[in-house]
Structures are given as C-alpha cells and as structure tokens.
C-alpha cells in the first residue's frame, strides 16, 4: 500500500467505493487522514463500513464543509454530460476534486522512497486501443530481463494498492482518459500515447475533449521521455509539441503504417518486422511474425510501444526479443482459446469499438466473425476496409438485426445470443478459418462487462470441442 501524503489530520471525501475508491480510502487512512465515504449502492457502503470507514452523504453541505478534498472514482462523471451531484457540490464549495492517480503522484517521493539508492521509475500508458496489452507487455519485458515491475491503474491492482517499491523498481500504470483528465498531479518518468480513436465521447464532450484528457499526461506531467504513436493526426501534433526538433530523442516515435527513419529516435513495424532507428541509422530489428502472443498490426503497435519504453529503460534488444516470445497475451485481447481441426478460436471481446474491431479483423484471414452488442457513436462504416477478411458474420445483441444491416457486402446471420452465434460459426467453419469474437460494440445490452462476454464465448467454444 502507498500511504497518501499531505492530509494528516484532515477529512477527505471518497466518492465511489469500487476497487479504486476503497483503495484510496485505505491509503488515506494509512497516511493519517480521515476518509469519509459515499456510494449510492448500499452494498458498497456496507463493505466500507465493515472496514471501519464512516459513510456519509457527501453532497450535504454540512459534510462537504468538513472536507479538504474530494476523491472521485473514474466511473463517476465530473464534468460531462453533467457533474455528479456530489461533484457539483464540491465545485460550488471550492473543495478540490482529485482521484487516486492524483493522490499517487502527489505522494510519490514521500516517506521511504526518498532514501532509495535508485529511485523507482513510473511508466504511464494511455491511448484509445492497446493500453492494457502494452502495459502488461512492458511489465513482462522488464521482469523477463531480470528486473522488478508492478502493474497497476486501469489494469491489475489499484495504483495505491501496490507494494512500496524498492530501489530500481519500475511501476507501470495503464491510465484511461477518465483518470488522466481528473488527476491533479501527473508526473511519470516515461509517458506513452498509443493511438486515438472515438470513444467515451459523451464523457469528454467530443473528440477535442477526449484528446485533451489524454494530452494532460504529457502537458501536465512533463515526462523525461515520451513514446508517441504518430499514425493519427493527434499523435503527430503531440509529437510536434513535445519535441524541440528532429534530433530530440526525448520523444520516441512509433508507427505501424510507415517507416520512421529520421534523425530522432524511432521504432516502427512493417510486414511483421520491428525496426529501431536512431540518429538516422538502424540499430536493431526483431521479427514479430512468429510471436504468437502478439498477432496482427495492432499488436505490433503495442510491441513497438513496449520496445521503446524498455529501450528507454536501458534493456537490450536481444532481451526484449526474448521477452516477446514468452508473452502469452491478455485474456479477451486477441486471445487464442483453442485450435482444432485446423480452425482457430480467438477471443477479442475487448474490441468494444470500431477501431479495435478493425485491427482485429485485419490481423486474420478467413474469419467467421461474431460481432454486435451495444453500438457506440459513429456507426460501423470504419470497418469497411477490413470486411474483405470476413467470410461470414454472426451477429449477437438485442439490436442484432439493425447491426447486421450495416455490414455492407458481408453475409450476416442474426443469432442474437452467444450460444447460437458460436454454434452457427462452428457449424460453418472449415480448415484454415478463424472463429473470431471482435464485437465492435459494448457488452452492456447482454453482459455486465466485456470480460463476461469473452468468458461466455470461450465456454461455448470449449464445450463443443
């Protein structure tokens, strides 16, 4: 646990008592603060009370007047589409609003940390797609090279739940736009921007607000080194803002769409080969084609980002390459479930938006595609260029028929349920085919989470093999 610094003897409100909220409450208490908690869910309040926390309606003026700060969980709206009532009360009362990420960075360097021979370093990863795989891959590569890493944030443990780091440790954080937008302190040593595509637009009032939330990690934090995906205009713009010129190697540019051979520090992947260029010369190359845990161009982008971070940490290319081959991938992200009779079964339930599904479709050929769910803004037109890889679509979700109508030029079968979709896809699949779950939609019309949806797919496949 990381004790929160700066609030000894003060009362701090904690709004939302999920994983990050309870973790923040515990760390505030460990740092000498009084954590006053609230969640609209009575079961969540009961859990907090069982740990000895006082639960009070933080929106009441008498309670809000006691608070030195309000810590908000990432799922709670603080600005758009409109502030939660407790957040609105804090804004009106002038109570600083923060989150657990802000508390973590504000506490960085306090206590025993300052006495370590080699200060721990923090790598923070943000972007639209690939954050989880990139973060997990970075941690894996660090550990496979014989060093110590802890993975936290939007993946793994809550950021304040990690163990107090030892000399030379690396902390790898996956940060969503909800987390970067609200954190009052953001000071990573290395910050990563993978890519940007439309997502969470209601929470950020459009693409401009969404990009601005991501950009804060770099503009507010001033990392010593930035790894920037430059395959979208936003990444190119961010690179331009952070770099002092072509030879500035504080920015490492990454791409899977073009060669980057300029005079700065560049890492790119083309046709399955990763190349590192520095000062206009190629210094390393890795064949990614046989790395089973990282299939497709989208995973090659993740590999480029992780490679760049590890090189910035001083890890040799041969050690990174060895780590690539031992990486098994993450559940629900291009996860190979089974292979039987020449047919592969792949779970990419995390492909909850069009861009992620596009990347998944581009990664394979001869696809029996299970898709559908709660459609996000923008429609499905962005998938068109990848639909040539699809032999047939099997559509799930409450609005399956409407979803299927948007798949121009693709044979589609309306299945509605996962059970029927898997049964139909396995009935039709031939040797060399890939049965792929890449929904291009959220799961909440039928499942509590994308993990539940992916588990259902896996269970339906495995019970039939």
Domain ranges in the chain are 11-98, 104-326, 335-462
- The yes-or-no verdict on residue 109 having pLDDT over 80 is no
Give the pLDDT band of residue 254 (cuts 50, 70, 90).
very high
How far does Cα 304 stand from its chain's mean position? 16
Cβ atoms of residues 47 and 23 within 8 Å: no
Give the pLDDT band of residue 451 (cuts 50, 70, 90).
very high
- The yes-or-no verdict on residue 388 having pLDDT over 80 is yes
Kindly report each contact of residues 420-426 with a partner whose C-beta sits within 8 Å and lies 24 or more positions away, as own/partner.
Answer: 420/394, 420/396, 421/370, 421/394, 421/395, 421/396, 422/370, 422/394, 422/457, 422/460, 422/461, 422/464, 423/460, 423/464, 424/394, 425/368, 425/370, 425/392, 425/394, 426/343, 426/461, 426/464
In 3D, which of 108, 103, 107 has the Cα closest to residue 189? 108
In 3D, which of 390, 426, 434 has the Cα closest to residue 409? 390
Mean pLDDT of the chain: 93
Cβ atoms of residues 159 and 151 within 8 Å: no
Tokens standing for 25? 């409450």
What is the radius of gyration, based on Cα positions, of the chain?
A: 23
Whole-number Å distance between alpha carbons of 90 and 63: 10
Give the pLDDT band of residue 199 (cuts 50, 70, 90).
confident
Q: Which residues participate in the annotated binding site?
A: 127-133
Q: The CATH number of 104-326 is which of 3.40.1190.10, 3.40.50.10420, 3.40.50.10890, 3.40.1160.10?
A: 3.40.1190.10
pLDDT attached to residue 456: 98
Q: Which CATH superfamily is domain 11-98 in?
A: NAD(P)-binding Rossmann-like Domain (3.40.50.720)
Mapped onto helix, strand or coil, the DSSP state of residue 226 is strand
pLDDT attached to residue 112: 64
- The yes-or-no verdict on residue 287 having pLDDT over 80 is yes
Q: Which residues participate in the annotated binding site for ATP?
A: 127-133
In 3D, which of 158, 198, 160, 156 has the Cα closest to residue 177? 198
pTM above 0.75, yes or no: yes
Q: The CATH number of 335-462 is which of 3.50.50.60, 3.40.50.1110, 3.90.190.20, 3.30.200.20?
A: 3.90.190.20
Give the pLDDT band of residue 377 (cuts 50, 70, 90).
confident
- The yes-or-no verdict on residue 65 having pLDDT over 90 is yes
């Amino acid at each position: 646990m990381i004790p929160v610094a700066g609030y000894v003897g003060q009362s701090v409100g904690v709004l939302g008592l999920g994983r990050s909220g309870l973790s923040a409450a515990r760390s505030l208490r460990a740092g000498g603060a009084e954590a006053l908690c609230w969640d609209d869910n009575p079961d969540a309040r009961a859990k907090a009370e069982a740990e000895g926390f006082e639960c009070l309606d933080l929106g009441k003026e008498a309670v809000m007047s006691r608070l030195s700060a309000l810590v908000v969980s990432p799922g709670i709206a603080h600005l758009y589409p409109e502030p939660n009532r407790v957040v609105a009360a804090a804004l009106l009362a002038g109570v600083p609003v923060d989150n657990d990420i802000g508390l973590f960075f504000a506490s960085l360097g306090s206590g025993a940390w300052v006495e370590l021979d080699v200060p721990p370093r923090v790598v923070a990863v943000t972007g639209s797609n690939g954050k989880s795989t990139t973060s997990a891959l970075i941690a894996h590569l660090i550990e496979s090279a014989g060093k110590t890493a802890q993975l936290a944030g939007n993946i793994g443990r809550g950021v304040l739940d990690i163990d107090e780091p030892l000399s030379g440790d690396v902390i790898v954080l996956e940060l969503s736009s909800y987390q970067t937008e609200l954190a009052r302190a953001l000071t990573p040593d290395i910050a990563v921007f993978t890519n940007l595509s439309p997502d969470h637009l209601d929470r950020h009032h459009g693409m401009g607000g969404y990009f601005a939330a991501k950009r804060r990690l770099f503009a507010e934090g001033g990392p010593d080194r930035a790894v920037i995906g430059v395959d979208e205009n936003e990444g190119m713009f961010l690179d331009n803002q952070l770099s002092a010129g072509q030879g500035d190697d504080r920015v490492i540019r990454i791409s899977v769409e073009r060669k980057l051979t300029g005079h700065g520090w560049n890492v790119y992947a083309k046709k399955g080969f990763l190349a590192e260029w520095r000062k206009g010369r190629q210094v390393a190359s890795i064949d990614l084609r046989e790395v089973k845990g990282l299939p497709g161009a989208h995973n090659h982008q993740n590999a480029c980002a992780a490679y760049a971070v590890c090189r910035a940490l001083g890890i040799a290319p041969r050690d990174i390459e060895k780590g690539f081959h031992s990486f098994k991938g993450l559940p629900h992200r291009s996860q190979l479930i089974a292979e039987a009779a020449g047919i592969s079964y792949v779970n990419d339930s995390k492909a909850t938006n069009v861009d992620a599904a596009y990347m998944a479709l581009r990664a394979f050929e001869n696809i029996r595609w299970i898709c559908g769910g709660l459609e996000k803004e923008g429609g499905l037109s962005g998938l068109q260029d990848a639909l040539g890889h699809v032999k047939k679509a099997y559509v799930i979700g409450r609005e399956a028929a409407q979803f299927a109508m948007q798949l121009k030029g693709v044979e589609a079968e309306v299945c509605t349920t996962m059970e029927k979709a898997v049964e139909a896809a396995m009935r039709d699949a031939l040797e060399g085919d890939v049965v792929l779950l890449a929904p291009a939609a959220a799961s909440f019309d039928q499942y509590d989470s994308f993990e539940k949806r992916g588990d259902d797919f896996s269970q339906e496949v495995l019970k039939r093999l």
